[in-house]
Chains A and B, each alone.
Chain A
Amino acid sequence: MQQEAFANTEDFGGPDLVAGPGRTCRPGQDAPYQNYELAKAFDEMFTPEGVCRSPYAALDSRISTLPLEELNRRQQAVEQSFLHQGITFTVYSDNRATERIIPTDLLPRIVTAREWDRIERGLTQRILALNLFLRDIYTDGRVLKDGVVPRSMIYGSKHYRREMRGMPVPHGAYVNICGSDLIRNEAGDFVVLEDNLRVPSGVSYMLANRDVARRAFPAVFRSMGVRPIEHYPLELLATLRSLTPFHEDVSIAVLTPGVFNSAYFEHAFLARQMGVELVEGRDLLVNDNVVYTRTTSGLKRIDVIYRRIDDDFIDPLIFREDSSLGVPGLFNAYRAGNVMIANALGTGVADDKAVYAYVPRLIRYYLAEEPILDNVETFLCREEKSLSHVLANLDKLVVKAVGESGGYGMLVGPHATPSERAAFAEKVQADPENYIAQPTIQLSTAPTYVGNGVEARHVDLRPFILHGAETKLVPGALTRVALKRGSLVVNSSQGGGSKDTWVLSH
């Protein structure tokens, strides 16, 4: 159907000529960049002087020669195609369910080979350290005895799972699938904003967006040596396989909360692409600590579960008993070693926003290396000195609740009203351990098609790291875009969209 959706744009799949350099459209002056604002953020495409950076030259010459209506048509074809494919999430209001697509921008974001090399090494280092940290806190607790991380922060975390203590996991790999959010600061350096170690999502959008951008700019794509990402499902399958000692007849399933989950499309997509079963909790049962699915021919054993359900909901006998999404007895089957679960339970303790602040120290502690990728400067409100600094500078900081994600429970100081700041200050004072603060970082901006031209919008970068017997990054990422002009919030639940990410091979 995708073909058909594009059929009316005759050069969509065909050649689109890349014009040579010569023509220069200046941001803020010439169409299509007439409203392209270069503010204090680092811009991915233009230097502060308004000169196009070289990796973007081919794209620039293409979009500055394409009629605006053509971009518009391509944008609409993409939206139509997403809708038909069912790449949607459902919004409920007034008892009516409306399906919306997560907006996708046509224009790719480009990452050079050198930048990617650093990202890849940095994230590999980071996931190694985080896995060592998880093994440590679920076994000897050396890092706590040595006073590197406060004991109360770990044992007091709602994501610390006592049930996991002393339990071996294959290859010591607790986090098998990780999605880390990077941003590019004003100086143009990539820094880590957040690690998602529980059930990171978005990888299906990374792949769907590739389809979009490649169709929108086929010749530019071909000319640039963009590294492929289509093998992600294969690598994911290999990672999941590496969790069992068996080699043949390994039965793998993706466990989804079901069709009402906003990431359901992704769960079904990954199951299909890997050629494994997509199961819901009600399809599984545990007998004698072995997990089975109910099939038309009888019960079939399951060896590895890629779960897309949070810890809390996975087994009502151990965790939340009101959960109907999980499988009673699953945890005991897991503890008995009869089924592998990816990610392991209890990984959330390490992507806590407070633990985040310690990751550079963890890298030094476990690997005796300097962090390749920096963190964003972070103030822990649990430390008194930081707390007073935070309260005095609320108008300059972003304050976040430690256990929340998805852009909830946070205050973007410079954009908040004085009364919002005052209200938030009270919350922080009442429970300082629950908050951290960071300077408002101007996420870098990237060219984004907005309907009547191309404008700068803030973006982040979420690469996906696989970690089983080995560590692998597919050379690509989900680039999330804050579609509202000036907005720094890229979360899809709050008006964010996404775009393709082209990692160059040279």
Chain B
Amino acid sequence: MLSRVADSLYWMARYIERAEHTARLIAVKLESMVEQTPEDAGASWQRVVGALTGERVSAQQDAFVITRMLAFDRDNEDSMITSLGLARDNARQVREALSNEVWEHLNRLYLRLAPVTMNSIWVHSPGRLFREALEEMHALEGVTYSTLSHGEGWYFLELGRHIERVQQLGRLLDLHFSAAQSDNGPKYFDWLVLLKFCTAFEPYTKRYTASIRPQKIAEFLLFDSEFPHSICFSVDRMTEALARVAPGAPPARRAAVERLAGRLKAAVDFGQVDELMSGGVAAFIADITRQCEQIHKALYSSYITYGAETVL
């Protein structure tokens, strides 16, 4: 596979994952805010903005402005529409490596969302658009799964998707758990919303019943190996994918990447939630996130941007 193609597939998947995550947070937030006091809703929006952009906004900022910024602001490089546009740009550059179905699904989704304005959705159930967008993005994942060969390109998509997912999930968990002890930290309702942010509410209750406790939430979202939006699940997929890409690369370059992947997997496999609860969740997540960044760099230097002179 051409290195440039691998690069584009990787970023296409990252941007789709980012757009999906953004759409889900907005949808859940718009649906849940009606049940909160203005103060609680404000604090919760702050966490959403923090998780998605790393920015701080005032608790008085209203939902319309925040939603517009997160969803449709093309000057915001993390907005849903910016991410989808970038995903599509990357897909367009590797049309020959994608199935027609994947390309057309993504293209149609973008063309449908591109002209949407806040005013056109705000008056009547603004959450609906984001739910529809989410459905389309889930469908895209299915179309990709069932129409694209599960070869090297597919595994680059997997890598992009799961590295991005770990990053996004990490930020979200960090913002909730590092504020857990403080006065205006998350309340019962916020923990419930956190599960919904991760599509985890029902899977969680199936595992732990409806008793919503931060420690169990941490255990579930960090270490559950079966749930697709847990750190553990994503790390397993990354490790698997790394073993399948660049099959012909020289052993030394492969080893550089696989060593890092093995270390990350060990950290997650042997992590214990009891050890983390006294303020250690944030440090653990910071460590995982840093390791993902190292894997990203190693992936690039081994397979994509390597110097030609090293192989001639």
Contacts and interface: CB of A to CB of B under 8 A. Distances in A.
Interface stretch (B92-100, B119-127, B195-203, B221-229): B92-100
Contact of A282 (B4, B152, B311): B4
Given A1-B104, A84-B104, A268 B249 contact: no
Given A1-B104, A84-B108, A278 B303 contact: no
A294 B308 contact: yes
Interface string A271-286: 1100001111011010
Interface stretch (B27-35, B168-176, B177-185, B240-248): B240-248
Contacts of B108: 1, 84
Interface centre among B95, B105, B152, B304 (most CB of A within 10 A): B95
Interface in A185-232: none
Q: Assign chain A's interface to a size class.
A: 20 to 34
B311 A268 contact: no
A279 B93 contact: no
B89 interface: yes
A287 interface: yes
Contacts of B6: 296
Given A1-B105, A1-B108, A296 B95 contact: no
A293 interface: yes
A299 B311 contact: yes
Interface in A298-312: 298-299
B107 interface: yes
A85 B93 CA distance: 14
B248 A272 contact: no
B111 A84 contact: yes
A93 interface: no
B118 interface: no
A265 B89 CA distance: 13
Interface in B51-100: 89, 92-93, 95-96, 100
A65 B311 CA distance: 67
Interface centre among A272, A296, A299 (most CB of B within 10 A): A296
B249 A297 contact: yes
A272 B3 contact: no
Contacts of B248: 295, 297-298
A294 to B, nearest CB: 5
A298 B254 CA distance: 12
A180 to B, nearest CB: 28
Contact of B107 (A86, A259, A268, A294): A86
Contacts of A269: 95
B101 A295 contact: no
Interface in B93-151: 93, 95-96, 100-101, 103-105, 107-108, 111
A266 to B, nearest CB: 11
B279 interface: no
A265 B96 CA distance: 10
Interface centre among A269, A293, A298 (most CB of B within 10 A): A298
Nearest to A253: B2
Contact of A272 (B96, B104, B246, B250): B96
Contacts of A299: 308, 311-312
A269 B103 CA distance: 12
A268 B99 CA distance: 12
A83 interface: yes
Given A296-B6, A298-B249, A298-B311, A278 B96 contact: yes
Nearest to B114: A99
A297 B104 contact: no
B106 to A, nearest CB: 10
Contacts of B247: 297
B1 interface: yes
A83 B111 contact: yes
B104 A280 contact: no
Given A280-B4, A283-B4, A294-B2, A259 B304 contact: no
Contacts of A83: 111
A251 B300 CA distance: 25
Nearest to A277: B2
A469 to B, nearest CB: 26
Nearest to B90: A259
A449 to B, nearest CB: 24
Nearest to A259: B93
Contacts of A84: 104, 107-108, 111
A83 B108 CA distance: 8
Nearest to B103: A86
25 contacts: A1-B108, A83-B111, A84-B108, A85-B100, A85-B103, A85-B107, A259-B89, A259-B92, A264-B92, A268-B95, A272-B96, A280-B4, A282-B4, A283-B2, A294-B2, A295-B1, A295-B2, A296-B246, A296-B303, A297-B246, A297-B247, A297-B249, A298-B249, A298-B250, A299-B311
Interface of B: 1-4, 6, 89, 92-93, 95-96, 100-101, 103-105, 107-108, 111, 152, 245-250, 303-304, 306, 308, 311-312
Pairs A-B, 4 closest by C-beta atoms = A297-B248, A1-B104, A296-B246, A268-B95
